Amino acid sequence: MPSDKMVKALNDQIELELNSAYLYLAMAADCEAQNLPGIAHWLKVQFKEEQSHALKLFDYMADRNARVTLGPIEKPKAEFGTPLNLFKAVLAHEQKVTAAINKLYELAVAEKDYPTQILLHWYINEQVEEEKTAEEIIRRLEAVADKAHLLLMVDHKLGEREAG
């Protein structure tokens, strides 16, 4: 079983992952209101992915006989501005999650908690992908700035994302 300090940190990470899911669902709702169904679809897939990240930690803790204690979910804002501003917020949020995962890994190393270190390798790799994807979308949106017809093409492309 992980130490009390590790259990608290893992519970905090579950809370962060669930807050991430809720944030992406709020972003999807904003995009639906802006008639951007492709971006909304991409964000709904992201919502489900973040839920799966939380459940992966939840199941891991159960496997290690550690008590899961769920914290409150923060209410996200309702409007995020332009798609470019929204994806800049996505990137900033993913960087926050990356910092939290890195801090969690540092704790696992300090605690000599090898099973948690191995689990966190998956999250570290996932965060590299998350940040890269957000940065790529930002570059696409910057390239189509002030060209509404191209924004619709980007929206359509993001709508093609399959659930992973």
The enclosing domain of 60 has a CATH number of 1.20.1260.10
In a domain, residue 121? The reply is: yes
In a domain, residue 128? The reply is: yes
Give the residue from 23, 8, 129 showing the smallest Cα distance to 71. Answer: 8
pLDDT tens track, the chain, 164 positions: 899 999 999 999 999 999 999 999 999 999 999 999 999 999 999 999 999 999 999 999 999 999 999 999 999 999 999 999 999 999 999 999 999 999 999 999 999 999 999 999 999 999 999 999 999 999 988 887 766 666 666 767 777 777 76
Cα-to-chain-centroid distance, residue 80: 16
Q: Which pLDDT belongs to residue 10? A: 98
Looking at the 3D structure of the chain, how many domains does it have?
1
For residue 7, the SS3 value is: helix
In a domain, residue 164? The reply is: no
In a domain, residue 163? The reply is: no
Q: Which pLDDT belongs to residue 156? A: 72
Distance set, CA 11 to CA 5, 8, 25, 59, 104 (Å) = 10, 5, 21, 12, 11
In a domain, residue 41? The reply is: yes
Q: Which pLDDT belongs to residue 163? A: 72
Q: Which pLDDT belongs to residue 64? A: 97
Q: Which pLDDT belongs to residue 1? A: 86
In a domain, residue 145? The reply is: yes
Q: Which pLDDT belongs to residue 151? A: 66
Residue 131 is part of which domain span? 4-70+77-158
pTM recorded for the entire structure = 0.88
Q: Which pLDDT belongs to residue 145? A: 74
In a domain, residue 131? The reply is: yes
